[in-house]
Amino acid sequence: MTSSENVHRSGFACFVGRPNAGKSTLTNSLVGSKVAITSSKPQTTRHAIRGIVHRPDAQLIIVDTPGLHRPRTLLGRRLNDLVYETWSEVDVIGFCVPADQKIGPGDRFIAQQLARVARRTPVLGIVTKTDLVGKQRVAEQLLALQELMDFTELIPVSAVDDFQVDLLSDLLIKQLPEGPQLYPDGELTDEPETTLVAEMIREAALEGVRDELPHSLAVSVEEMVPREGRRDLIDVHAVIYVERQSQKAIVIGRGGQRLREVGTQARQQIQRLLGSKIYLDLYVKVAKDWQRDPKQLRKLGF
């Protein structure tokens, strides 16, 4: 037995990559629980969400960040800034590139930005979503990724097939300094419950909307309280914000059909999270062009 087996490591990792690269799905898979919402729409993640991996030999805190992209709004710029800030706070970075998409200008841009931090922080190259392609394609993608920059390690993974997710966690942990547990046992995220609830509503609302609408959605939980005289029921009042009147009609749907579906979907997720029955009251409001308005951004927590 060597002494290194008794070492306890702790620290922070973050995943970067273009929108939709699979960062949040991978975070959830490593944590073993849904701490971040995911969707097929780009720019789903809007906060730096911490997911915590507990192991006897280590505690790994994964900071899931928004996809790095060419910003078109003030919100977009804020999201990118958040990514850059996170880089300086972590012990290791995982650069995610999906196996099913050619490496493009967006990835080269990220590699360029990363080159500056890579001098002090190790960067792992991660090919995600390997279940979507054949072995040959995965190998090609690893080679293409290697061309982008110097990586400490290269690894293909699939969050859906649970392929090499444990190995990835080993590789990330290897880069952490020795240190004590930073979060109590069993704590999987430090996101407040109301934030998780708002995110689950946004995830449900993202389902089935297109074009600009996914970007225009924001959710705020106004109130979350136990129903008086009932221990088994929580009342949740939330507002779905859109940017224009026409979007409001789409979100609500004919005769309120879509909003009801969103409510049902979100309610199931929230009940699982809280382990309690909930009554979900959803409003849709217009916050005109909130993505470009500093005052409204602040109100929505950006």
Ligand X SMILES: Nc1nc2c(ncn2[C@@H]2O[C@H](COP(=O)(O)OP(=O)(O)OP(=O)(O)O)[C@@H](O)[C@H]2O)c(=O)[nH]1
Q: Which does 42 bind (CB under 5 to 8 A by kind): Mg ion, ligand X, none?
A: ligand X
Interior/surface letters 30-51, b for 16+ CB within 10 angstroms, e for the rest: bbeebbbbbbebebbbbbbbbb
Q: What share of the chain is helix, strand, coil (3-state, %, to 5)?
A: 40, 25, 35
Q: Which does 160 bind (CB under 5 to 8 A by kind): Mg ion, ligand X, none?
A: ligand X
**Shortest distance, position 149 Cβ to Mg ion, whole Å:** 22
Rounded to whole angstroms, the Cα distance separating 263 from 289 reads 24
Residue 20 annotated as binding site: yes
Strands 58-64 and 49-55 turn out to be antiparallel
The CB-side HSE value for 272 (13 A sphere, CA atoms) comes to: 9
Neighbour tally for 142: CB within 10 Å: 19
**Is 213 labelled as part of a ligand binding site?**
no
Nearest residue (CB) to ligand X, 179 versus 302: 302
129 binds, among Mg ion, ligand X, none (CB under 5 to 8 A by kind): ligand X
Pairing relationship of beta strands 9-16 and 92-98 according to DSSP bridges: parallel
**Closer residue to Mg ion, CB minimum distance, 44 or 130:** 44
| Residue whose tokens read 């909130």 | 290
68 labeled binding residue: yes
**Nearer to Mg ion by C-beta: 39 or 141?**
39
Task: Indicate the residue among 57 and 81 with the shorter CB distance to Mg ion.
Answer: 81
DSSP 56: T
Max Cα–Cα distance, the chain, nearest Å? 68
Q: How far is the CB of 29 from ligand X (least distance, A)?
A: 8
Considering CB distances under 5 to 8 angstroms, the limit depending on partner class, which of ligand X, Mg ion, none binds residue 106?
none
Residue type at 30 in one-letter notation:
L
Does 65 carry a binding-site annotation? yes
CA distance 26 to 36: 10
Least distance (Å) from Mg ion to the CB of residue 102?
Answer: 21
Quote the least distance from Cβ 28 to Mg ion, whole Å.
10
CB 159 within 8 A of CB 29: yes
d(CA 171, CA 155) in angstroms, rounded, equals: 9
| Residues within the interface to ligand X (CB under 6 A) | 17, 19-25, 38-40, 42-45, 66-67, 128-129, 131-132, 158-160
288 has binding-site annotation: no
Q: Minimum Å distance from CB 19 to Mg ion?
A: 8
Q: Is 17 marked as a binding-site residue? A: yes
The pair phi, psi for residue 99, each rounded to 5°, is -65, -25
Q: CA 90 to CA 10: how far, in whole Å? A: 11
* In the complex, least distance from residue 70 CB atom to Mg ion, rounded to whole angstroms: 17
Give the residue with the Cβ less far from ligand X, 64 or 234.
64
Q: Which residues of the chain form contacts with Mg ion (CB under 5 A)? A: 23-24, 44-45
Q: Is 67 annotated as a binding residue?
A: yes
Closer Cβ to ligand X, 47 or 244, answer by number: 47
Q: Is 18 annotated as a binding residue?
A: yes
Taking CB atoms, the residue at the shortest distance from ligand X is 67
Binds 21: which of Mg ion, ligand X, none (CB < 5-8 Å by kind):
ligand X
Q: Which is nearer to ligand X, 22 or 122 (CB)?
A: 22
SS3 11: strand
Consult the annotation and say whether 22 binds a ligand.
Answer: yes
- Give least dist CB 135 to ligand X, A: 15
Measure the CA–CA gap between 204 and 259, rounded to whole angstroms: 10
Binding residues for GTP: 17-24, 64-68, 128-131
